[in-house]
Structure 1
């Protein structure tokens, strides 16, 4: 690892004033506010700031010079604030932002003015928006619901789910994001609707395949049908067949302009299992049934 003296371009015997002057010169050149979008300059600035954090502190510099702090990368307890912990990336060191530049802000040059304006901008900046994902049941996406999510810090947020949401839509909770001097940011909740094996949403309509018995299909019947908002009773007409589609008005998803789509119920005739000998005997003696060829009728 490069020595912090080499990073700042000073000799090990440099005075504190020389170290501060070298750092100030490099900071003017590399500060992120003066190099927006320049990742290389930003990374170099972090390395320079880390070096100054070590050498600008008399106690830390003394320990480094004594070999107690190994800039080559010896193991240390976390968050001790030594040079090795900062030089490799975006660390939480005192010079990561303008808050520790009080000793440079009293000047009247452009750098001091930049730091003062940067500090003021940070103080008035709105907090960051925080992003979360929330899985909800299909029924909740149709009828709406309130669900609670647990945050990484152990806190919770109650999320009101409006009716009709689809996967990928985002719910915005105002003021529930990160705090900031200009007010808290928002919490952005991306919703994922979990699949329900019974239902398929097609626009504002919902489809369902409903098994019915041979007797219900031939003779007609009243049957219970599940919907996203609860079961209802539906009439199966006499002579219904597999593929017959019945419509339940208003039992679909909410429409943008108001009202609801429909639920389309596709019937599927299911024979008993195991086969019923009486039914087999009836069909064997059913002459008209034997003469009927559905493939020719199609």
Structure 2
């Protein structure tokens, strides 16, 4: 494990955590040597936490693999995992726990599928990476997505709340077979851009064109949402840039507290070449003495 003989418990744990993170099979699917080294490091650490094995190892009765040595301790190569030799004083962990306890903290759970700690492990099969293009509306509404696996089977994938572009989902046991069990499927999510919706956190934004008469007089208009069109009331005297809110029409929130909203920004759309409108504005502009840019200091 690359530590000094007089290293304390904290140093041993620190060295083990560092090596475990570097060599864990889930992070070295294409490097079988890393998996073998991972097993050796784990075995060394596990031996040091077994009082009986540690004492027998210190007396030269067993080797670093836990196997009996030749009589009087002269049967092995003189070394053991971590740099110990028969007759040297082993580390005192003071009941620090076994390797699986550390892995529960390192990786969020016990390292199932590798045959347990304290003995050489068989590597799992390689992971298989899938790319999944998810329509914008489906990402917002969490519509199930059908995915074809490498073995030809299909599954309906349930999307998580607050799905982000580039997120990865793990499908346990859906990878290549191996001596220690099948690897996992890794699904990379790509949320497809929409032609008029954009995302703003948990909210969905939409620029909505309205006519001059709808903006001035007010109106009830149809508005697209990620779940279909709904009716929206445009207040009288609305100007371009005014934003209205449709509650609960956005993305599902990660904390399960509901959904974001759809924010609708009104954009007054004027007709091009409308002579009647041009004549009206020509006659009306002399009555409008306002300076709409006054608050900008110009």
**TM-score for the superposition, normalised by structure 2:** 0.55
- Could you say if the C-alpha distance between residues 33 and 244 of structure 1 is closer, same or farther in structure 2, counting changes exceeding 3 Å? closer
Question: Deviation of residue 178 (structure 1)?
Answer: 1.1
Distance between the aligned counterparts of 2:173 and 2:153, measured in 1? 15
Query: Displacement of 1:290 after TM fit?
Result: 4.0
Mapped partners of 2:33, 2:163: distance in 1: 41
Bigger relative CO (Cα 8 Å, ≥ 6 apart): 2
Aligned to 1:103: none
More helix by share: 1
Question: Which whole-Å CA distance do the structure 1 matches of 2:171 and 2:229 have between them?
Answer: 33
Alignment partner of 1:205 out of 203, 206, 226:
203
Q: What corresponds to 2:226 in structure 1? A: 228
Structure 1 contact 140–163 (Cα < 8 Å) conserved: no
**What is the SS of the residue equivalent to 1:279?**
helix
Correspondence list, 1:33-72, <5 A = none
- Which residue number in structure 2 is paired with residue 133 of structure 1? 131
Tell me the alpha carbon deviations over residues 95-150 of structure 1, each in whole angstroms, 9 at most, x when there is no partner: xxxxxxxxxxxxxx99xxxxxxxxx967x432222111111111111111222334
- Pairwise CA RMSD: 2.9
Distance in 2 (CA, whole Å) between partners of 1:131 and 1:170 is 10
The residue that corresponds to 1:215 in the other structure is: 213
Of 173, 186, 192 in structure 1, the residue corresponding to residue 171 of structure 2 is 173
Residues 1:271 and 2:270 aligned together: yes
Could you say what secondary structure the match of 1:145 adopts?
Answer: coil
Distance in 2 of aligned mates of 1:188 and 1:157: 14
Corresponding residue of 1:260: 259
* 1:251 corresponds to: 249
Question: Deviation of residue 262 (structure 1)?
Answer: 1.3
Answer with 1 or 2: which has the greater Rg. Answer: 1
Paired residue secondary structure (1:291): coil
Structure 1 residues 289, 239: CA separation in 2 closer, same or farther (over 3 Å shift)? farther
- Deviating above 3 A after TM superposition, structure 1's stretches of 4 or more consecutive aligned residues are 149-158, 287-290
Structure 1 unmatched runs, 5+:
1-31, 38-108, 111-119
Give 1:153 deviation, angstroms: 6.0
CA distance in 2, matches of 1:289, 1:296: 17
The normalised TM-score by structure 1 is 0.55
**What's the secondary structure of 1:179's corresponding residue?**
coil
Which segments of 5 or more consecutive residues in structure 2 lack a partner in the other structure?
A: 1-31, 38-75, 78-118
Which residue of the partner structure matches residue 13 of structure 1?
Answer: none
1:45-104 per-position Cα deviation (integer Å, ceiling 9, x unaligned): xxxxxxxxxxxxxxxxxxxxxxxxxxxxxxxxxxxxxxxxxxxxxxxxxxxxxxxxxxxx
> Which residue of the partner structure matches residue 29 of structure 1?
none
SS at 2:280 equivalent: helix
Aligned to 1:189: 187
**Whole-Å Cα distance in 2 between the matches of residues 289 and 194 of structure 1?**
49
